[in-house]
Chains A and B, each alone.
Chain A
């Protein structure tokens, strides 16, 4: 499934990286704890689902080579976050849905968890 299809499933809005909407999502990891995200070794085609919307969530993705992020609960994505995300060819989707609901929809649609 592409990240664009993910965005449609969660009624999300692509706020950055529109040109990367064709990227395939192979796995999802949901976390607000960035140290936990940093433990993931294989991040190819991994989508991070998070309620933590700050510069450190983008930095963490930069270090972990994660280029697809869904921010839940309509949290604000700041200009600084967008700038850093753009520098790193990331695509960010924002949804009004909760973490639980978003994870449930994506799991139900057949995207497996990483663990």
Chain B
């Protein structure tokens, strides 16, 4: 019984966390797709498009 709770709890907790993280990251676009994102101290995408036709 305890094993069930532990396994089930772990799976659902991990799944929930990953789900939230994915949606958050994807909707940020640009920066999230950058593999340096974790260690990056610059702010990507701050350059606003100034030459709009």
* Chain A partners chain B: no
Contact residues of A with B, CB < 8 Å?
none
